[in-house]
Amino acid sequence: MLKKSMKKLVIANLKMNLLSPAERDLYLKGIDRVTAGKKFENTEIILCPPFVHLEGFKKWKNRKVARGAQNVFWEDKGSFTGEISPKMLKNFGCDYVIVGHSERRKNIRENDQDVNLKIMAALKNGIKPILCISEDDNQKETESNAMMEQLQNCLNGISDGKIENIIICYEPAWAISSNNPDHLPTTNDVMSARLVIKKFLVANYGAKIAEKVRIIYGGSVALGNVTNICINSGMDGALIGKESLTPGNFMKIVEMIENNC
């Protein structure tokens, strides 16, 4: 059995879905059904709903899954209209938060400096950031440089003692929510990206600490590709959007990862 801290991670990014309390409850019932009677020794399951559902998720009794959020602001409290603080997330049951998702970088113009502040604020409040590192179509050619730059900027000032609480998600923007099989990375693509991230970690934190940082993959993960993209590439788990909305398929992916540790 793996040590708890080194469990694989399967994270549902529910994005802007579950449009009503009724839809949310139906989804949670589905997750109850597919997790019933199951033990997860090697895998931690994390669900990241929209903010409005965090209270409902907190009250939900299922303790086999952890809770996370899809974004956070960097201040704890005060005059920041429309923002949600890390203290609020903690008080509403979140142990994780996604930061730097490519959809936010693109739609909200979130930049590496914002992401860096969010990481610091989350860590200060005992929340583990899931840092998404992405590159768009134009960057595909120079992928590793773009990734290095994002890692450097987003992790600026993060000490040796803190880095192991951060999960790094390689998330090529061109592969997100894609129905086009040509827009999926190969096992080798993902292995190369993993190597770039590892090299950064080893260079900045040393090999021993780098070993403790989990690196996962996100972008159109589905039942049919999880083996190639996430398992054969040696990734420590997956960030799943669309496929996580179907509890049955989501659980099959969890079980594939659980049984391949």
Nearer to ligand PGA among residue 138 and residue 177 (C-beta): 177
Residues 6-35: x where in contact with ligand PGA by CB under 6 A, - otherwise, as a string: -------x----------------------
Closest CA to 233 of 221, 249, 247: 221
Q: At a CB cut-off of 8 Å and minimum separation 6, what does 149 contact?
A: 112
Minimum distance of ligand PGA from residue 104's CB (angstroms): 10
Q: Is 101 a catalytic residue?
A: yes
Residues 109-138: x where in contact with ligand PGA by CB under 6 A, - otherwise, as a string: ------------------------------
- Which of 240, 251, 253, 254 binds ligand PGA (CB under 6 A)? It is 240
Nearer to ligand PGA among residue 10 and residue 240 (C-beta): 240
Q: Which residue is nearest to ligand PGA (CB)?
A: 241
Total residues interacting with ligand PGA, rule: CB under 6 A: 13
Which one of the spans 38-46, 111-119, 140-148, 236-244 is the region binding ligand PGA (CB under 6 A)? 236-244
From the number of C-beta atoms within 10 Å of its C-beta (0-12, 13-18, 19+), residue 49 rates as buried
- Give, in degrees to the nearest 5, the angle at Cα 170 between 169 and 174: 130
Task: Give CA separation, 73 vs 8, 79, 129, 166, 234, in Å.
Answer: 27, 12, 12, 17, 32
Task: Return phi, psi of residue 88, to 5°.
Answer: -60, -45
190-194 long-range CB contacts below 8 Å, 24 or more apart?
Answer: 190/217, 190/229, 190/230, 190/233, 190/235, 191/233, 191/234, 192/144, 193/143, 193/144, 193/147, 194/170, 194/233, 194/234, 194/235
| CA dist., res. 50 & res. 52, Å (int) | 6
Nearer to ligand PGA among residue 39 and residue 109 (C-beta): 109
Minimum distance of ligand PGA from residue 103's CB (angstroms): 6
Which one of the spans 64-72, 118-126, 198-206, 234-242 is the region binding ligand PGA (CB under 6 A)? 234-242
DSSP 4: G
Per the residue annotation, which of 44, 53, 101, 143 is the catalytic one?
101
Residues 192-221: x where in contact with ligand PGA by CB under 6 A, - otherwise, as a string: --------------------------xxxx
Check residue 71 for interaction with ligand PGA (CB under 6 A).
no
* HSE toward the beta carbon, residue 124, CA cutoff 13 A: 16
Give the H or E element holding residue 163. Answer: helix 160-163
Check residue 242 for interaction with ligand PGA (CB under 6 A).
yes
Minimum distance of ligand PGA from residue 50's CB (angstroms): 14
Q: Is 171 a catalytic residue?
A: yes
Q: What tokens appear for 208 in the block?
A: 């021993």
Q: Which residues bind ligand PGA (CB under 6 A)?
A: 13, 171, 176-177, 218-221, 239-243
Residues annotated as part of the active site? 101, 171
